[in-house]
Each structure stands twice: as C-alpha cells, then as structure tokens.
Structure 1
Amino acid sequence: MDTFVDSSWYFMRYCDPNCHTAMVGPGSRYWMPIDQYIGGIEHAVLHLLYARFWIKAMRDEGLVDFDEPFKNLFTQGMLLRESYYRQAEDGSRRWFYPSEVAVHHDEKGRPVSATAIEDGLPVTVGGVEKMSKSKNNVVEPKDIINRFGADTARLFTIFAGPPDQSTIWSDSGVEGAYRFLRRLWSFAVEEHARWGEGEEPAVDDAQAKHVRFMTHSLLQQINNDYERLQYNTVVSGAMKLLKVLEGARKAGRQTCRESMSILLQVLHPVTPHITQVLWEELAFPGAIYDSTWPTPSSDALKQDKVTMMVQADAEHDTIRSQAQSDTTLARHLKGNERMIVVPNRLVNFIA
C-alpha cells in the first residue's frame, strides 16, 4: 500500500521541489492540474484511482484548490510479441526467447510448429502475448539502439500503429524504419550539396507551387494528428513529404529548403537526434528545438483547379442539374465548370 500511496501524489513535488516547509508548494498553482495523462491500461487504472483520491483528500485539507489531477486521460496500447514455451513434467513452463527458437511455417506463412535451437526438440507456439519478462518475449531497447540507433527505435514504436491500440512487434518493421531514416539522411546530404552549387538552374513555377501546396497540406494533416495524439499518421505524413521532396528537383532552392525545414521540424519530436544533426548540416538557423513550430500557409493552400467527383447514372444535363441542386456541392460550383462523365461511374467537375 505504501508504494501506491507514494506514487499517487509524488508528481506534486515536481511542481515545487525546493519547498521544504509544506507537503505541496505554491508552484502547484501554476503547474497543476496536469494537461495530459498517458499510461497503459493496467497501470493507469490503479494509479489514476489513487491519484484522484489523494488530490481530493489534499483538496479537503486545503492543500490544493482543484478537484482533479489530470485534465485529459489517454490510455496507450500494449506491445505484443510471439511466445514459445516447453511444458515440464511438474506442470511448469520454460519460456524461450524468439531468438532461441526455429519457427516452421505453412505455405501461407503461418507458424505451425517450432523447435528449440539448442537441442532441436519441439516447443509449443504460445501465440501472440503481451510483452512480459516472465515469458521471455520482451525486446530489449538497448539491443535495438545498439544495432539501429535510438531514433529508429522511437520511429518504429510510434509508426507501428495507432497509439491507443496494441501492436505486434516486427523485426522487419524496425528495419523498415531504419531504411527510411537512411533515405532521409541521404536525401538531405545530396540536397545540401545541390543547394550549394553555384547559380540555381531554372525553376519550374508549376512544380514549385505544387510542392508548396503538398507541403502545407501535409503539414496541416500532421498538426491535426499531433493534436489528436495520432502519432503513427504523423510519421506517415512525414514519409509522404519526403517523397514529395524527392520529386521536386525543379521546384527551386527556396521552396525545397522551406519544405525540408518543415519536414525536419515535424519529425523532431519523433526522431530528435537525426533531425537536429541535419538541421545543423543544412545550415538552418539556431537549434531545431528552439525553432518556431510551422503552421500551414493559406497562400500555399490555394489552388487554381479543383477536381470534384460525383457518382451518377444519368444524362449529362440531368447530372449537371442534380449537382447544382445539391447544397453541399453547389457552394463549390459557379456554373462554368468543365464536366467529365464516365458513364455509370463517376462525374468530374473541373473548376
């Protein structure tokens, strides 16, 4: 019980750690309540219960002037991994690390049996379980960091799936995250060399405009995903932005540098080490963690043409008439749009 008691109000001391005359210092008036509480479901249930109890007790004693310790609760999913064991005669189980087992698959790639590497004897495929030291199916972060680096470990864990859902660990997924960071590094180094080459070649204005539109569209999506704590789609947005940049050879130095700075900034909370180094290598001012967070440009998001698709099965005049009478669609139409009809399939209005 003492452990739960200590862990249920200790965060209050962080608000004013140098206060030695009271249980809760005056700094709590500034820092509390906490904006966001994040925890796994098994931990959050008990800790949240005890923390709320203690805050209400301290409130009743006049130590704090708020009712709840946390404004928002986010329950994260768990990491899962395959498990393998061998039943002993006394009924106990010896659990094997996945690296200690040779797994045999059927023609569809599904595991059907396994043997221990040490003796070649069968072990039981226990299925996908929550990572647990007792079942020897944990992944040691230091092993991943030693092999791929801390940024890769962070990137894979965040990109593996929605943070509120459980995710199955994948060694190939870690390698994929590593390849993406190598691609980012190679592109940045190549671009830095290209940006430093004498006079800039002719700029394709249409491509520059497209690159800025895509960059700020993706930035808008990424910012929304950060707000919603959907960090996996933050990473996918950054991956899309790198792909845009890789095809932007004629967009001009200024446009490419703007897009590259945005890419590094939105990735920085996920992969802080590589983004800081590249920020310096590309000669962006100051430290990336002190830079102003980017916001979408309304000018960059403007488009001269917008294609809208409507599914329909009718004559051309009927389709146009129905589209103009639809309140949702009509506010985007001005009457002079070019209409392209794929019979019985789709209708495109090009504004």
Structure 2
Amino acid sequence: MKQLATLGVMTIAALSLTACAEETTGSGGLTVEAADSSCKVSATKLKAGPSTFKVTNKGSKVTEFYVYADGDRIMGEVENIGPGLSRNLVVDLPKGTYQGACKPGMVGDGIREKLTVSGEAAQNLSDSEELSAAATSYERYVKSQSDALIDKTTEFVDAVKAGKVDEAKTLFPIARTYWERIEPVAEKFGDLDPITDGREPDAKAEGVDFTGWHRIEKQLWVEDNTTGMDKYADQLLANVKEIVALGQDAPLTALELAQGSKALLDEVAAGKITGEEDEFSHTDLWDFKANIEGSEAAINALRPVLQKQDPKLLDRLDTEFEALYTELNQYQDKSTGEWEFYDKVTEPERKKLSAAVDALSEPISQVAAVVARSA
C-alpha cells in the first residue's frame, strides 16, 4: 500500500533540492541525503546499467526514495527509512530521463531532481539467461494470481453492489490475498496503487477522495451496509483490471523481483504489524500471509541465481522464511483456513511477529545486489 501522490511537481517547487552534476558509472555508488526539505543526490548524470543509491535520512521524518520514469512509472523505490538510518536501492536504468524523488513523511510528490542516463550498458541484466528465466518464472506466477484476483474481486464487487454484506465481508480478505501477493506489480504504475489500496489518513493528508479496498471495508464493518458503495466498487474492479493489463505489458525484471520481495516485507512492517492496514475489518493476518507468500515467490523465481551466486544467503533466506511461517501459522485455524482477527493478537505476540519479519528482512535486503552483479 502506497501513500497517495499527485502527478504534478509544482507543489514542491519551493523546496530545495541540490545535486552535483558529475557523471558516474552505471554500477558506481551514489549517495542521497534526504532531509525534511531537501534531497541531495550525489550525481544526476549517469551511465546506463545498474546504479546503487545509498539513501540516508538526515531529517526528522520517515522518508522514502523513488526513481520515476515518464508518467511516474516506478523504476525502483526504497521505503520506511527512519531518521538517521540508511537503505540501499539498486536500479537498472537504460538510456533516458528519469526523476529521483525523496518523500519526507512518505506523502506527496516528493522533492524531485531530473536524472539523465546516457550510453549503453555493457550487458543489460535482462540479457542474462538466468535472470531472464527468473523473470519468466515469476511472470507465470503473476499470471495465475492475476486471474484469480480478477475473479475474486468481481465476486466481491458483485456482492457489494447486491447489498450482500455478510458475503462481501467474507470475500474481502480472500480477494485481497491475491492483490497482496503481487502488489509490487501495482506499485510500478503511479497513482493506481494508492487509489486502489490507500488508507483513509493518507487520503485526508492529500485532500483527495478516500477510495478503493479500504473505503468499502470501512462501510462494511463500520456502517454494516453497502450504501453508496456502487461507484467505489466499480472503480475498484476497473483499477484492478487496468493494473493486471499493465503488468502483463510490462512484467517485472529480475532486479525488480528482488526489490519487490523486500517491498512486500516492508508492507508487513509498515501496516500489518501495526494493524493500520485493515483497521476496520482486522483481517490483517490474511494480508500478512499473502505478502510473505508473494515475497517468497519472488525469491523462488530467483533461486537458481542465488544458488549460484550466494548459496549461504539462500540458505539463510530459507531458514528465516520457515521461522516466520512457524510464528505466523499459529494464528490460523487449520480446519477452516480462517485467520485470527488482528485485534485479538496481543502486543507481545505482535512483537514476536515483528522480530521474525525483521530477521527475514535483513537477508532479503541483500538480494538485489546479488542480482545486479550476476549479469
């Protein structure tokens, strides 16, 4: 789930962003100093190929850093960088123009700077036979999940429009399971993700209409009816279909798989652990499990690459996935498949889940670098 972001950048024109215009190699290290009102990128002229941005938050607000292509298509992102912390983002950029953006508070368009990429990479990551095979494997996974997502979202929307409250409540976490497994696909396409999966506080912060999954969720669980929800239901289904179509036209690359696997864990840490994601229905654990499954699917697609390049890292990933599943699965009724509602999970239990997520997050953060050097 992304924060809402409008397409224009005029609103942040008054904020200062400075960057030196030195040229760096595509594989060279770049630094980004993110503050509350500035975003200093160490270079804005890059050579084609993988680039690593080390993003350090020197401000007082949690921040994130994006690299956008035309139309605010996301080439890469790193989120939830707390004050004083650093995170790396590896992005494979072909020749063209892009924008780097820091987002203090994780809202708005961000403080942006034009990035110019020239030349040709010595070898595109997508040219690697192993990485191409990984992307193709994940593409098959996305196709299966996308088909089920459209089917179940259609059932959910039909129930909402028919005023079948209990049926809609049952279908809500089921349909969202398929959404949460492949959300890195949705996150590539600008505002489509936030208007589909944005939370109410984010909509209020941006001054826009509260839409999507969580708008309908609120009506179902708070008002216990579907009054006025037809337009939101129709919009939800249209957005899901558009995201699926765009994802098929622009499937994730192997590097995006690695970044997406980490992003799904960030989703858990940012919204599921805290209970903020499904605040009305408390169906967070359905989403939690789906995010983990989606993250693991990305790692499994990359498994041959990781086995060759860093088998110890792969062994560690397998161990931490197993530990997280063990911690999580105790909250599922094995006979029915139903999950515990998250408001019934105690604070000590949430801390144990959080620790298991953190233990997996660290080795997953290393996968992108392994992929970048495997071409």
Higher relative contact order (CA 8 A, sep 6+): 2
TM-score (norm 2): 0.21
